[in-house]
Structure 1
């Protein structure tokens, strides 16, 4: 209290904006939303599977597929999946971009994996690959021009 104010019986001892829980502080961030938790998990799972698929492509797939172009396609799919999975871990609170990245990874990388394994059987997925690529591009554009604006808050570990 300042020296100009006098305390009375009606003067509150604690400010009205004081946290009610002793563990909370003014620097704490709000709890994550359900969608951000889901996107965080999707990013982690997609990251793990990208590493596994990349290793499979580099070691196991070479025994079955000898065409360099098909092996390169598998590698590209794993690389794009890993990059965008990492992005999901950084921007899980941007639902539009996160949704587009998730759809893009699924369509782009998923169709390339299937086409690499059996091009004749999964020929119908050929047009899906560019749609996935457009989703990835749109995800980046959503980050640039989306409503959340500014750099995201990085998660604390």
Structure 2
């Protein structure tokens, strides 16, 4: 569902650009409007006004936006994510790594200024949202895939 929060708006902008007038968007504006739609979804998810500006870490929302804008980049980064998660058993490390690689990949594969800027903003937001995971990783306290989690009782 979180992937669709950003994939939907990005794809909608692309479809609007194909529509007959008066709904057609200027093709020059489509990349800019697409990234703004994706950015709005990321911030809306991560800093929801309905949750006192709290929310999720945003990785799935960034993935949806990236899937709509840069599908080949997502395919490559998903392979890297799977490899890191399988080798280290840390979902957070895999997520942080691929989101840091996102602007690099976008720069080479989809070199539009607005795409590079949004990928950098997305990476900064996701790394910031994972700051506690980073602290736990550095302390060796991060939960690994397959670890049993103790639930606190009230």
Q: Is TM > 0.5 for Structure 1 vs Structure 2?
A: no
TM-score in terms of structure 1 length: 0.28
Higher helix share: 2
TM-score in terms of structure 2 length: 0.28
